[in-house]
């Protein structure tokens, strides 16, 4: 617990306008889940499925948010003794986002009577119709933006973004929504959820880059502060293959590591590697872990290659928007969104990346403040076969022949709805600091501000007069810019570890 405030710590609090009340919230401060619209109807339908012993299928989304959502719901139903539930996670390299033909066939042939979508489904209008036509009820849980004019005809929908939803916090990840659902079921059924559910909710929330404030912060911080309590067999397995985890930043780094590890299991349906790894109790767990580690390393190499390529595209780029069609197949389909994010971080302009995939043109769009990707795609929907996402991260598919018409429509929308933020040039930092202030005591105080994420980024300090010769015991991390040996420069830095800095910009 933080009792006295250091100067550096309180300057950062002040710069960010953080009230210390928010920093001390705990699980007891979570709002009543009954405030969610339709949650009683969801509970009744799932209850009926369990008592009638109906085959039930959880339909996840192929990313860490969707995987952790699937896991905590699947596992909660397990813990209730239910045995007729299963899960299906589509392979994003084979199927596009949402309820598609392969899944519908799987659900029908498997004789399922109830499908629960997690971290997706809110734009699956046609998919829900098709399942209904086959006598399958659908419950949707999702956190994406709603197209209010086209809500699927589901049995019931849990989504904080619904117009009539009174749950006060709107920015939960998909797994945050599922966590609130199982917390509600736990109260109704008087059967507690496992404490590790918070660990997996934290992993999915970090991976989905939701704003790290409010309830998202509360969930991740709970895991940081109660790490011993939230460990299940998978966490313990992973810890045997990981460095020591003792400080709050160790826990945060471990959570980020796990979110990257489970991002790569790409097998389809009930065979998804990452989910099988989490569920596995036997020796096979080690084999699956090796698979995942290998995939993660390959993926990180691939990522570095793509980033180097994007760096060449971004250098000296001038323009109001960045549109890139990956004709030459430099960017793998699975990295298209990551690539768009990279460009937005570099250039701060709306970015769309497109490529051919399975006979269709797919697109991932990203932007910062001052623009809304979903609105832009919605404006151009006559050219698209499917679209969805958030204001700052959205995607679509279209027929290849529609490209020119779409681009004209998109550019027209952009010219009327985006003006570049005026802060260009002035890179923001939290406060000026001196090397002498970077003490172990201050490091510990700043750890109280973890977890980092959107709306709560890692602090940026301005340090004046840095040069190699006066760094003392401090080292620079691998991603740092280098320092001149003799001539002192003013720098913006991240304080990465008690004795480690990352120079992110040289100012003089
Ligand atoms: Mn999500």
Q: How far, in Å, from the CA of 222 to the mean position of ligand 1?
A: 20
Distance, CA of 386 to CA of 453 (rounded, Å): 29
The percent of residues in the chain predicted with pLDDT above 70, rounded, is: 96
Q: Are 153 and 133 in contact (CB under 8 A)?
A: no
163, 38 Cβ separation under 8 angstroms = no
Ligand 1 centre from 400 Cα, in Å?
A: 27
CA of 408 to the centre of ligand 1 (A): 30
Cis peptide before 500 (omega within 30 of 0): no
Number of domains in the chain: 3
Q: How far is the CA of 61 from the centre of ligand 1 (A)?
A: 8
Whether residue 222 has pLDDT greater than 80: yes
Assigned domain for 129 exists: yes
72 CA from centroid of ligand 1 (Å) = 14
Whether 299 is in a domain gets the answer no
Same domain, 110 and 183: yes
Percent share of the chain, pLDDT over 90: 76
Nearest residue to 115 via CA among 68, 156, 58? 58
Q: How far, in Å, CA of 146 to CA of 34, rounded?
A: 21
- Say whether both 442 and 409 belong to one domain: no
Q: Give CA–CA dist 40/45, Å, rounded.
A: 9
- Distance, CA 210 to ligand 1 centroid (Å)? 9
Tell me, yes or no, whether 229 lies in a domain. no
C-alpha 490 to ligand 1 mean position (Å): 39
| Mean pLDDT of all residues in 111-124 | 96
Q: Which residues pair with 465 in a beta bridge?
A: none
Q: Which long-range contacts (CB under 8 A, 24 or more apart) does 162-170 make?
A: 162/37, 162/38, 164/37, 165/35, 165/36, 165/37, 166/35, 166/36, 166/37, 167/31, 167/33, 167/35, 167/36, 167/37, 168/31, 168/35, 169/31, 169/214, 169/215
Q: What does the pLDDT read at residue 2?
A: 43
Q: Are residues 87 and 40 in the same domain?
A: yes
CA of 426 from ligand 1 middle (Å) equals: 32
Is 296 among the domain residues? no
Is 420 in a helix, a strand, or coil?
A: coil
Residue 444 has pLDDT above 90, yes or no: yes
Distance, CA 380 to ligand 1 centroid (Å)? 23
257, burial (CB in 10 Å: exposed 0-12, middle 13-18, buried 19+) = middle
Q: Given this model, what pLDDT does residue 283 score?
A: 84
Cα 32 to Cα 47, 168, 195, distances in angstroms = 20, 10, 18
Please give the distance, rounded to the nearest whole angstrom, from the Cα atom of residue 3 to the centre of ligand 1.
36
Last residue of a domain, one of 417, 449, 468: 417
Residue 349 CA to ligand 1 center (angstroms) comes to 23
Mean pLDDT of the chain: 92
Q: Are residues 95 and 192 in the same domain?
A: yes
Which residues crowd ion ligand 1, with CB under 5 Å? 65, 119, 174, 208
Domain boundary among 166, 193, 218: 218
Distance 175 CA to ligand 1 centre (A): 7
389 and 497 inside one domain:
no
More confident residue, 40 or 19: 40
Q: Has residue 469 been placed in a domain? A: yes
Given this model, what pLDDT does residue 318 score? 87
Ligand 1 centroid to Cα of residue 418, in Å, is: 26
Q: Both 460 and 397 in a single domain?
A: no
* CA distance readout (Å), 264 to 95, 293, 356: 16, 9, 21
Same domain, 327 and 443: no
> 């006598």: which residue's tokens?
135
> What distance in angstroms lies between residue 204's CA and the mean position of ligand 1's atoms?
8
What is the Å distance from ligand 1's center to 20 Cα?
28
Measured in Å, residue 102 CA sits from the centre of ligand 1 at 21
Distance 171 CA to ligand 1 centre (A): 10
What CATH number is associated with residue 56? 3.90.1640.30
Query: In this structure, how many other beta carbons lie within 10 angstroms of the beta carbon of residue 373?
Result: 26
Look at residue 3 in the predicted model and tell me its pLDDT.
Answer: 41
Whether 269 has a pLDDT exceeding 90, the answer reads: no
Say how many Å lie between the CA of residue 141 and the centre of ligand 1.
11
Q: Which spans in 80-231 are helix H?
A: 101-109, 125-133, 174-189, 196-207, 214-225
- In whole angstroms, give the CA distance from residue 62 to residue 204: 12
For the chain, report the end-to-end CA distance as a whole number of angstroms.
38
Both 470 and 413 in a single domain? no
What pLDDT digit, counting tens, does each position of 283-334 carry?
A: 889 999 999 999 999 988 999 999 999 989 988 888 889 999 999 999 998 8
218-232, 360-374, 460-474: which has the highest mean pLDDT? 218-232
Average pLDDT value for residue range 433-453: 95
Which residues neighbour 292 within 8 Å (Cβ) at sequence distance 6 or greater?
Answer: 261, 262, 264, 265, 273, 274, 277
Q: Are residue 377 and residue 459 in the same domain, yes or no?
A: no
C-alpha of residue 359 to centroid of ligand 1, in Å? 26
Structural domain harbouring 492: 431-506
Does the pLDDT at position 6 exceed 50?
Answer: yes
Quote the CA–CA distance of 177 and 201 in Å, as a whole number: 9
Rounded to the nearest angstrom, the distance between the alpha carbon of 419 and the centre of ligand 1 is 28
Q: What is the spatial distance between Cα 205 and Cα 220, in angstroms, rounded to a whole number?
A: 8
What is the 138 CA–ligand 1 centroid distance (Å)? 19
Q: Do 442 and 373 lie in a common domain? A: no
| 144 CA distance to ligand 1 middle (Å) | 7
List all residues 6 or more positions away from 6 whose beta carbon is below 8 Å from its beta carbon.
441, 442, 445
In the block, residue with structure tokens 């998804």? 272
| CA 457 – CA 451 distance, rounded (Å) | 8
CA-CA distance, 489 to 26, in Å (whole number)? 42
Q: Is residue 300 part of a domain?
A: no
Task: Considering only CA atoms, give the Rg of the chain.
Answer: 24
79 neighbors 197 (Cβ within 8 angstroms): no
Q: How many CB atoms lie within 10 A of CB 479?
A: 10
Query: 384 and 493 share a domain?
Result: no
SS3 56: strand
Handedness of CA 129, 98, 139, 34 (dihedral sign): negative
Judgement on whether residues 348 and 399 belong to the same structural domain of the protein:
yes
Tens of pLDDT, residue by residue over 355-406, are 999 899 999 999 988 899 999 999 999 999 989 888 888 999 999 999 999 9
Instruction: Tell how far the Cα of 413 is from the centroid of ligand 1, in angstroms.
Output: 26
Q: What is the CATH number of the domain that holds 322?
A: 3.10.310.30
CA of 22 to the centre of ligand 1 (A): 24
- Would you list the DSSP string of 224-259? HHTTTTT--HHHHHHHHTS----SHHHHHHHHHHHH
Would you say residue 475 lies in a domain? yes
- Measure 232 CA to ligand 1 centroid, in angstroms: 23
Beta strand 460-466 with 489-497 is: antiparallel
> 103 near 134, Cβ under 8 Å?
no
Chain CA centroid to CA 482, Å? 31
pLDDT of residue 199: 98
Report field, pTM of the whole predicted structure over 0.75:
yes
144-184 per-position pLDDT tens digit? 876 778 899 999 999 999 999 999 999 999 999 999 999 99
Provide, for the chain, the percentages of residues in helix, strand and coil under a 3-state DSSP scheme, each rounded to the nearest 5.
Answer: 45, 15, 40
Higher-confidence residue of 1 and 432: namely 432
Rounded to the nearest angstrom, the distance between the alpha carbon of 143 and the centre of ligand 1 is 7
Return the minimum-mean-pLDDT range out of 186-200, 221-235, 298-312: 298-312
| Closest by Cα among 125, 123, 122, 91 to 106 | 91
- Asked, for residue 258, whether it belongs to a domain, the answer is no
Domain final position from 167, 184, 218: 218
Asked if pLDDT for residue 425 goes beyond 50, the answer is no
- Give the CB-side neighbour count of residue 3, counting CA atoms within 13 A: 0
What's the gap in Å between 262 CA and the centre of ligand 1?
Answer: 14
Q: What is the mean pLDDT of residues 336-351?
A: 91
Grade residue 346 by pLDDT with cuts at 50, 70 and 90: confident
């Amino acid at each position: 617990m933080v009792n006295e405030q250091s100067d550096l710590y309180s300057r950062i609090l002040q710069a960010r306008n953080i009230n210390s009340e928010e920093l001390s919230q705990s699980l007891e401060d979570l709002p009543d889940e009954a405030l969610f619209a339709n949650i009683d109807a969801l509970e009744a339908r799932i209850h009926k499925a369990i008592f009638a012993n109906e085959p039930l299928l959880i339909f996840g989304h192929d990313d860490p948010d969707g995987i952790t959502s699937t896991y905590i719901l699947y596992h909660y139903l397990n813990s209730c003794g239910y045995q007729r539930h299963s899960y299906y996670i589509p392979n994003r390299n084979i199927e596009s986002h949402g309820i598609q033909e392969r899944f519908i066939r799987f659900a029908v042939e498997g004789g399922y009577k109830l499908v629960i979508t997690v971290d997706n489904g809110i734009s699956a209008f046609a998919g829900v119709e098709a399942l209904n036509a086959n006598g399958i009820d659908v419950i949707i849980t999702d956190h994406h933006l709603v197209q209010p004019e086209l809500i699927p005809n589901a049995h019931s929908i849990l989504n904080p973004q619904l117009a009539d939803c009174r749950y006060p916090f709107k920015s939960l990840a998909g797994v945050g929504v599922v966590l609130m659902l199982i917390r509600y079921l736990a109260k109704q059924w008087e059967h507690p959820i496992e404490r590790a559910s918070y660990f997996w909710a934290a992993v999915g929330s970090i991976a989905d880059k939701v704003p790290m404030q409010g309830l998202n912060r509360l969930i991740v911080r709970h895991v940081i502060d109660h790490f011993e309590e939230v460990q299940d067999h998978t966490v313990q397995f992973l810890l045997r293959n990981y460095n020591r985890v003792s400080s709050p930043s160790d826990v945060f780094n471990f959570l980020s590591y796990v979110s990257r590890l489970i991002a790569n299991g790409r097998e389809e349906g009930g065979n998804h590697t990452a989910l099988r790894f989490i569920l596995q109790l036997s020796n096979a767990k080690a084999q699956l872990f090796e698979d995942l580690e290998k995939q993660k390393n390959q993926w990180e190499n691939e990522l570095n290659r793509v980033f180097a390529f994007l760096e060449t595209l971004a250098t000296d780029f001038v323009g109001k928007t960045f549109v890139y069609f990956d004709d030459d197949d430099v960017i793998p389909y699975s990295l298209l969104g990551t690539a768009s994010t990279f460009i937005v971080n570099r250039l701060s302009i709306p970015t769309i990346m497109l490529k051919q995939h399975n006979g269709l043109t797919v697109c991932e769009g990203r932007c910062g403040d001052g623009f809304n990707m979903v609105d832009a795609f919605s404006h151009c929907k006559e050219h698209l076969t499917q679209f969805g996402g958030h204001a700052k991260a959205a995607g679509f598919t279209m027929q290849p022949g529609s490209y020119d018409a779409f681009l004209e429509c998109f550019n027209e929308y952009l010219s009327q709805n985006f003006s570049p933020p005026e802060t260009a040039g002035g890179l923001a930092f939290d406060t000026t600091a001196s090397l002498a202030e970077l003490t172990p005591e201050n490091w510990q105080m700043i750890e109280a501000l973890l977890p980092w994420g959107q709306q709560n980024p890692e602090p940026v300090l301005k340090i004046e007069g840095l040069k190699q010769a006066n760094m003392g015991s401090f080292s620079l991390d691998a991603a740092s810019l280098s320092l001149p040996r003799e001539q002192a420069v003013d720098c913006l830095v991240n304080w990465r570890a008690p004795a480690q800095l990352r120079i992110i910009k040289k100012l003089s």
